[in-house]
Amino acid sequence: MPRHAFSVLLLSCLVPMSGCSRQATDDLRAGSASEYDEIINYTPAAERKPDAVTNRGREFFVDWLGKHGHESVIDDETGVGIADNATRLWSFLYDVSGDDAEGYVAEVEFRIVLPDGREIIEFVAGAGSTSDDAIGMTFVNFTLSTFHVVYAGFMDTADQHVSRKQVTVNGKPWTITSAGMMTFGGDDVGDFGGIDEAFFKAISEETLSDKIHWGKLVYGRSSDQILECSVTVDNLISQELSTEMRAAPWPATAKYYLAKQFIVLQPGNH
């Protein structure tokens, strides 16, 4: 299956369906070990050739940060960010497909350059009646599923649009920042509270360095069939955690649903 084809396939199934209370629209990402071969040897965002989505992303991030009370927004060759903070934001077009009759699906590669130089790499999909609308939806979905967590974890630790949970990692106090489980489709799906706890417990039992880390859980289900379950830590898939979360008590459905959760793990209490 081509890169990201699973995501687009699920997107085509789920877009027409209504969703749960914490629902975005089309933000999908499911990976395999082979897909991450490219990420291991990635080109840094600041060295990538800008495209139309890069410029659109700059405008989006500058506007978003300005509306969140930041008067000194940085927009230069290092990316978009805020004064006195080294985190930078980037976006690049990955793919657009579709037609006027059936609608369009777009995939955008978002990069978050962290103060220590590492980069969070997120592929986000969106759907729309035009290619422009589909690209615009990727920014909405990125904000709902990922950006608020990144913003609260790395740019404005006082942000209240997220939840923070204290856990123990390597015998020391750590904080997990999350925006909750985002779901697509599955209007008959019940509570995901047990999944949150299982995910936080599983990832906090990993042997982690004292750096800040990030993780993502993606799960797709059709009736009683699990379509996908993947956990990534610092961009790389963890087969062990993926297997563990596959066995978690996921809600049943008679239809389809996709669930995604992005988290940031920080040493100490925040």
Q: Where are the domains of the chain?
A: 5-149, 163-267
- pLDDT for the residue 159: 87
Query: In the 8-state DSSP scheme, what is residue 117?
Result: S
Pick the CATH number of 163-267 from 1.10.357, 1.10.3470, 3.40.50, 3.30.500: 3.30.500
**Residue 2 pLDDT level (bands cut at 50, 70, 90):** very low
Q: What is the mean pLDDT of residues 129-140?
A: 95
89 within 8 A of 78, measured Cβ to Cβ: no
Question: In Å, what is the CA distance from 84 to each residue of 116, 167, 214?
Answer: 14, 29, 22
For residues 203 and 215, give the distance between their C-alpha atoms in angstroms, rounded to a whole number. Answer: 8
* Structure confidence by residue, pLDDT tens digits, 202-247: 999 998 999 999 999 999 999 889 999 999 999 999 999 999 999 9
Crossing angle of helices 131-142/52-67, nearest 10°? 40
For residue 17, the surrounding DSSP H or E stretch is none
Phi, psi of 245 (to 5 degrees): -75, -25
- Span 177-191, pLDDT tens digits: 999 888 887 676 777
Residues 6+ apart with CB under 8 A from 254: 188, 223
Percent of the chain with pLDDT over 90: 68
Q: Which residues partner with 167 through β-bridges?
A: 174
Cα–Cα distance, 17 to 164 (Å, whole number): 30
